[in-house]
Chains A and B, each alone.
Chain A
């Protein structure tokens, strides 16, 4: 592809992405996506986790190269091979996690990278930036240090940063997820103003109400393909939810448990409130019970509070209010920590939370159980015993690897995940907290993992299954609830329609159930 010349952004009428494909190893993240963004429109990009929204945007901002497909500015093909090029072309990005330097002022953050002179007058620059802020209709003090700003204000700094670099097209990646309601209203006013000035806006979100409120057109991505592009006026929340999630075939009812029988409750969670590091309520007023012999699902888009909830249940995070009560004691002898042989845990992120990649498979096997008597011999680690137990997990779960001595990071993602499940289930725990247990695993391995989980259920174990994959929830769970922005939106079973669940996942309280 030949880049003819960099088109001047102010005259560009439309950006067109055509046939964009992207693979990561054997996984196809994007399978030929088309998208056209006009100047002067707000274009919403919708899709579940893993639908390919972020990958597409990372291609647009020059962080990834597409395997196939092209990007056109009007009819000029352009090659965006770095964020700097994206910036020159007039593309601005307001990320979910701000890229601001906290101990610099607003002015310094705005000019950072855009100011090329070696010497400059700070006072004059501040004056100039303040004028720029005012003429663009923002209320923000150019001299203020960024660390003193609230989240909404920081986001405004990001927007001004993009405008200062003369962005004509701006991508907002889930901009409302960090904002309070009144800040959302201000953001929407800003977006409308930018739109009126002829900017093109891409608005990525999970929240259907916002889509219907702010966008002119919208595109739905599912499994790396665009399902549809339509005018926002002709859409309803119900059909959007349906198109986002697609058809889910309810599995055979034989999997389901009799919920009316005598239940022996193992875990009671009542009115739980958890604050995250940003002092937001990540979990807000959630109550449920987990009984022996059931698989209880927690559905929701990623980042809805599942991590905090799971960590609190595992005793790794202190809740602000409410209670987590176990009806059986799963603690270690004389210890305050849970006995991982009886309470299994599958953390969501293999590489950063579940494993030490540079350690051997055997060492990773005993990660949670280094003080277990079983693996100790006169105070020393019983290497032979650990190797034996690791081997049996490798065999039972069909983990492809050379043996217990191999470094964990040399295993494929799918095999790591199988090993992770194997580690958690090898002691036949009474309770299992599993987060996205089949993440990045192929179909056969997924089926194998599901069989294991059902097996555990049959022998009376209780499983709390967090999954962003609705099909998995439907396939495994006796019942499940949907979490959105830390709140429990509603309870569902296999007979609840996926559309209803989709509405809950995207923040719509129940209108009609079933």
Chain B
């Protein structure tokens, strides 16, 4: 427990540039809207109200953050082992499809055992995609960036096919699935809101990944590979096998995100079940400093942006696309604050302030 507290404190410190980046991006965005005759203060306040104003807003923020936690965790985990998983999008879709297959067919037979099997299959659906990437990388030297992007396209098209074919609703009106049986849905967490138990699941998932990465020998080896794969090889660690494991784990986590989204929020599968959660997950992972516990606040902030943007549209008629503009700028600022140039300036400035005789 002492260690846990220590790492969280350390993490808090290392998150400082991220927080700084978030604030900077919001300010620049406010400046941008002021060019279009909106009051920047009003815009920022509306975002704030929309994200945290009341219980309902807060619940919506958490709801939006939930899938981002999963994809963010997936990206962060892979990156810790030194590989880029751009494929969280496809793995997310795979998980969403798998849960739908179970949810529409198994109706009232659901038991704890079936839940277990379903969860296992969801995880496996993403893990298999991840392992394909690992296999291509090890055997054929295919860059994981390329193969994950390609697999995203495949997953997306496969989803479209399924929704026009085998998984389409019985009424055959729209390209969407039937509703999941009630037993396959995630229970409500807070009456009167859409908040579901998936929120708790993803927090648990983040802690689990933290334990794997920082407390288990497997995670230790993954981190060694991510930091110095040559040293890992010299230390007798089987590098490519471990990278495949990391990609599989990463894929599985992203798939669970997809399943939670269907079983917790939408209740059925649509073609645009993911408005780019997999890609936003990359930003979330970066903002969270590629740390499983850092991903939680990062996803929360991005969720807040999403629900804040809804309020912008509702109340001021500003397009919610503004949220995406802010997201993009957050990443630019994180990258900027990471540069040595900036860090040197910052430390110089801080020491200058400390030495000021006044």
Contacts and interface: CB of A to CB of B under 8 A. Distances in A.
Interface of A: 314-316, 337-338, 340, 345, 347, 352-359, 363, 366-368, 370-371, 375-376, 379-381, 383
A352 B230 CA distance: 7
B87 to A, nearest CB: 27
A316 B236 CA distance: 8
A315 B235 CA distance: 11
Interface stretch (B133-141, B216-224, B326-334): B216-224
Given A370-B221, A380-B215, A381-B217, A353 B227 contact: no
Contact of B234 (A347, A359, A383): A347
Given A338-B236, A381-B216, A381-B217, A367 B231 contact: yes
A358 B220 contact: no
B228 interface: yes
Given A316-B236, A340-B236, 11 more contacts: A316-B234, A352-B230, A356-B227, A356-B228, A357-B228, A359-B224, A367-B231, A370-B220, A370-B224, A370-B237, A379-B216
A338 B231 CA distance: 16
B45 interface: no
B3 interface: yes
Contacts of B227: 356, 358-359
10 contacts: A314-B236, A316-B233, A316-B236, A338-B236, A354-B234, A359-B227, A367-B235, A370-B221, A371-B217, A380-B216
Interface string B1-42: 001000000000000000000000000000000000000000
Contacts of B230: 352-353
Nearest to B225: A356
A235 B199 CA distance: 81
Interface in B228-249: 228, 230-231, 233-238
- Tier of interface size on chain B: 10 to 19
Contacts of A368: 235-236
A345 B231 CA distance: 12
A356 B220 CA distance: 11
A316 B221 CA distance: 17
A359 B238 CA distance: 19
A363 B220 CA distance: 8
Contacts of A370: 217, 220-221, 224, 237
A418 to B, nearest CB: 18
A71 B79 CA distance: 48
A354 B231 contact: yes
B137 to A, nearest CB: 18
A367 B211 CA distance: 18
A260 to B, nearest CB: 36
B77 to A, nearest CB: 17
Contacts of B216: 379-381
A340 B217 CA distance: 16
B317 to A, nearest CB: 48
A353 B234 CA distance: 6
Most chain B beta carbons < 10 A, residue from A340, A366, A370, A375? A370
A366 B227 CA distance: 15
- Which 6 residue pairs are nearest across A and B when measured between Cβ atoms? A368-B235, A370-B217, A356-B227, A367-B235, A353-B234, A356-B228
B141 to A, nearest CB: 14
B234 A345 contact: yes
Contacts of A345: 234
Nearest to B224: A356
A213 B188 CA distance: 87
B333 to A, nearest CB: 24
A451 B198 CA distance: 61
A345 B237 CA distance: 14
A375 B221 CA distance: 14
A419 to B, nearest CB: 14
B236 to A, nearest CB: 5
Nearest to B226: A356
B220 A381 contact: yes
Interface in B201-221: 211, 215-217, 220-221
A118 B224 CA distance: 46
Nearest to A405: B6
Contact of B231 (A340, A353, A375, A376): A353
B221 A352 contact: no
Most chain A beta carbons < 10 A, residue from B3, B228, B231? B231
B236 A337 contact: yes
Nearest to A380: B215
Nearest to B215: A380
Contacts of A337: 236, 238
A314 B237 CA distance: 12
A381 B220 CA distance: 9
A353 B216 CA distance: 23
A330 to B, nearest CB: 12
A366 to B, nearest CB: 8
Nearest to B219: A381
Contacts of A375: 217
A393 to B, nearest CB: 16
Contacts of B233: 316
A347 B237 CA distance: 15
A352 B231 contact: yes
A375 B235 CA distance: 16
A354 B224 CA distance: 11
Interface string B50-61: 000000000000
A347 B238 CA distance: 17
A358 B235 CA distance: 16
A366 B223 CA distance: 13
Contacts of A366: 220
Contacts of B237: 370
Contacts of A347: 234
A24 B191 CA distance: 68
A352 B227 CA distance: 10
A432 to B, nearest CB: 15
A432 B34 CA distance: 69
A51 B274 CA distance: 62
B220 to A, nearest CB: 5
Contacts of A367: 224, 231, 235
A337 B227 CA distance: 22
A368 B237 CA distance: 8
Contacts of A356: 224, 227-228, 231
Interface in B292-316: none
A379 B220 CA distance: 12
A63 B236 CA distance: 36
A366 B235 CA distance: 9
A359 B45 CA distance: 43
A381 B215 contact: yes
A383 B231 contact: no
A421 B144 CA distance: 37
A383 B214 CA distance: 11
A464 B231 CA distance: 20
Contacts of A315: 236
B230 to A, nearest CB: 5
A367 B234 CA distance: 10
Given A347-B234, A370-B220, A381-B215, A352 B3 contact: no
B239 to A, nearest CB: 11
A371 B236 CA distance: 11
Nearest to B6: A405
